[in-house]
């Protein structure tokens, strides 16, 4: 005998869920390492790839990318460098793939605007901070480490050159660890814009000042300060509980011994800005041009500082990811109905059926690409059937009794 358990008749919702599933499962692939970490509920740290293709020259870009990944592993987390390879959004790159990117020419710097175009054309794309946040959200990776984020450019009030990193931070649940923004940008306006976008900006450690990448001081106070990884992880957990869906930026000053002379950097940047203007550099080319010009003018010093700070950030970010995972697990033990945070739900980001059974509280599930998030009705929807076989055994005695009856 077989029967179908029908709990709800919302066929239309079910249909749209299955359509979303078909698209969602095609959106990205994991490396084996990241897939295993996901399955085991281990902390993962996302890493961008524009820093490899557009931020540093070969072979330093390759060495740094691999070292940063190792630092994250040493801290007990799994690195997930993110890029688009021949149109495939890939979460976690093998060493071979990182090597390919580090040497490749013509890889497209991929921000939100570029994502669909690069994927559709099956091209190679290196994800910026904005692009990497999008991928981290899809893959439910809450912590992402980089060197510097984009910002409001100097004279941005005229050019409207404002990095898409800022708006992306404003609409993501990701915590991004960086060393502030380079003073090629207008730091004051960048902080204003982050406030408008609802991004919780925190300095990390003792100082309450927002760092300026090459220098520990920018002249601007960060609105909040987290003194250690635990506090940062608590901030992230709280933001998730509040379902803010706006990001957190943790700004870690570069190690003091690598800090550069602020006046020297300022002079170099002023010259680079004039050059960019004279050469008619516009749009997405501006940031890589300025980075390269500063690097060239300061010799190896700025590159060394850049490498030192990203390694330091990797350590801090991995620590935050580990602490966050611990908090999340503890939080679930205390409150098993606290959806979206359980180990089970984390495991299920690409397995729709498991996701469905483990996170079907109606509101605000945080599973990536989660189609349930918008279902606010509170109903539980179960799709599936149940086969029940029954076997009857009749005894001789009983048969005879039936015959007599």
Binding mask 74-113 for ligand PSU (x = CB under 6 A): -------------------------------------x--
Binding mask 111-150 for Mn ion (x = CB under 5 A): ----------------------------------------
Q: Which is nearer to ligand PSU, 38 or 153 (CB)?
A: 153
| 373 closest CA partner among 354, 358, 360 | 360
In the structure encoding, which two tokens stand for residue 157, read together? Answer: 């009030």
Partner from ligand PSU, Mn ion, none contacting 165, C-beta within 5 to 8 A by type: ligand PSU
Of the pair 294, 367, the CB lying nearest ligand PSU is at 294
The pair phi, psi for residue 201, each rounded to 5°, is -95, 125
The entry of Mn ion, ligand PSU, none near residue 55 (CB within 5 to 8 angstroms by kind) is: ligand PSU
Q: Find the shortest distance in angstroms from Cβ 285 to Mn ion.
A: 9
* From candidates 43, 55, 125, 142, binder to ligand PSU by CB under 6 A: 55
Contact letters (x/-) for ligand PSU, 354-383, by CB under 6 A? ------------------------------
Q: How far is the CB of 157 from Mn ion (least distance, A)?
A: 14
The candidate with the shortest Cα–Cα distance to 133, out of 142, 125, 124, is 142
Beta bridge mates, 90: 29, 83
Piece in contact with ligand PSU (CB under 6 A), picked from 99-107, 159-167, 264-272, 343-351: 159-167
Name the segment binding ligand PSU (CB under 6 A); options: 46-54, 112-120, 228-236, 260-268: 46-54
Q: Which of 38, 42, 182, 284 is catalytic?
A: 182
CA dihedral 345, 346, 352, 353 (to 10 degrees): -40
Question: Positive or negative CA dihedral for 100, 102, 107, 112?
Answer: positive
Q: x/- string (CB under 6 A) for ligand PSU, residues 125-154? A: ---xx-----------------xxxx----
The tokens of 243 are what?
């379902």
Of 250, 171, 173, 235, the residue nearest 205 (C-alpha):
250
Q: Assess whether 182 carries a catalytic annotation.
A: yes
Our CA dihedral for 152, 52, 132, 332, rounded to 10 degrees, sits at -120
CB burial readout 356-373, b (16+ within 10 A) else e: bbbbbbbebbbbbbbbbb
Q: From ligand PSU, Mn ion, none, which one binds at residue 268 (CB under 5 to 8 Å depending on kind)?
A: none
Instruction: Find the farthest-apart pair of alpha carbons in the chain and give their distance in angstroms, rounded.
Output: 110
What, of ligand PSU, Mn ion, none, does residue 291 touch, CB below 5 to 8 Å by kind? Answer: ligand PSU
Integer angstrom CA distances of residue 149 from 23, 69, 191, 291, 365 = 30, 19, 12, 12, 28
137 is catalytic: no
Least distance between ligand PSU and beta carbon 51 (Å):
4
Smallest distance from ligand PSU to CB 151, Å? 7
161 forms part of the interface with Mn ion (CB under 5 A): yes
The full length of the chain comes to 405
On the question of a cis peptide bond just before residue 212, with omega within 30 degrees of 0, the verdict is no
Instruction: Choose among 115, 138, 132, 173: nearest CA to 28.
Output: 138
168 binds ligand PSU (CB under 6 A): no
Distance CA(33)–CA(266), nearest Å, equals 42
Q: Does 340 bind ligand PSU (CB under 6 A)?
A: no
CA 50/CA 348 separation, integer angstroms: 29
Give which of 108, 115, 151 is closest to 133, Cα–Cα: 115
Contact partner at residue 148 from ligand PSU, Mn ion, none, CB < 5 to 8 Å by partner kind: ligand PSU
The catalytic position among 33, 48, 69, 168 is 48
Rounded CA gap, 277 and 154, in Å?
12
Q: Which is nearer to Mn ion, 140 or 161 (CB)?
A: 161
Query: Which lies closer to ligand PSU via its Cβ, residue 128 or residue 215?
Result: 128
Distance CA 402, CA 405 (A): 5
Distance CA 138, CA 355 (A): 14
Which residues are the active-site residues?
48, 182
By CB under 5 A, name the binding residues for Mn ion: 161
By CB under 6 A, name the binding residues for ligand PSU: 48, 50-51, 55, 111, 128-129, 147-150, 163-165, 182, 213, 284, 287, 291
């Amino acid at each position: 005998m077989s029967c179908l358990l029908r709990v709800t008749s919302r066929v239309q919702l079910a249909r749209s869920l299955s359509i979303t599933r078909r698209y969602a499962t095609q959106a990205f692939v994991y490396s084996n390492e990241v897939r295993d970490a996901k399955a085991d509920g281990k902390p993962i740290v996302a890493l961008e790839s524009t820093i490899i293709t557009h931020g540093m020259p070969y072979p330093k870009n390759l060495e740094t990318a691999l070292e940063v990944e190792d630092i994250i592993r040493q801290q007990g987390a799994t690195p997930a460098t993110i890029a688009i390879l021949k149109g495939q959004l890939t979460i976690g790159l093998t060493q071979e793939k990182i090597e390919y990117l580090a040497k490749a020419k013509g890889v497209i710097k991929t921000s939100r605007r570029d994502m669909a175009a690069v994927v559709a054309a099956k091209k190679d794309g290196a994800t910026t901070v904005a692009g990497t946040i999008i991928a981290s959200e899809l893959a439910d990776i809450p912590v992402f480490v980089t060197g510097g984020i984009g910002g409001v450019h100097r004279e941005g009030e005229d050019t409207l050159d404002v990095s898409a990193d800022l708006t992306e931070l404003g609409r993501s649940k990701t915590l991004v660890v960086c060393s502030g923004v380079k003073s090629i940008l207008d730091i004051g306006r960048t902080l204003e814009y982050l406030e408008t976008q609802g991004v919780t900006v925190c300095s990390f450690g003792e100082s309450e000042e927002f760092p300026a990448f090459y220098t520990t001081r920018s002249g601007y106070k960060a609105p909040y300060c987290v003194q250690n990884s635990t506090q940062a992880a608590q901030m992230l957990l709280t933001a998730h509980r509040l379902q803010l869906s706006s990001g957190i930026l943790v700004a870690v000053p570069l190690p003091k011994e690598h800090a550069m002379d602020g006046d020297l950097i300022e002079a170099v940047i002023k010259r680079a800005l004039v050059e960019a203007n004279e050469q008619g550099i516009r749009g997405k080319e501006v940031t890589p041009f300025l980075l390269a010009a500063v690097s060239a003018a300061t010799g190896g010093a700025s590159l060394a500082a850049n490498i030192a700070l990203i390694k330091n950030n990797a350590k801090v970010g991995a620590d935050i990811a580990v602490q966050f995972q611990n908090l999340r697990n503890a939080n679930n033990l205390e409150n098993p109905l606290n959806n979206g945070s359980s180990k089970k739900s984390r495991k299920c980001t690409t397995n729709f059926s498991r996701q469905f059974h483990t996170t079907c509280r109606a509101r605000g599930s945080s599973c990536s690409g989660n189609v349930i998030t918008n279902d606010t009705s509170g109903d539980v929807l179960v799709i599936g059937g149940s086969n029940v076989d029954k076997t009857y055994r009749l005894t001789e005695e009983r048969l005879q009794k039936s015959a007599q009856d």
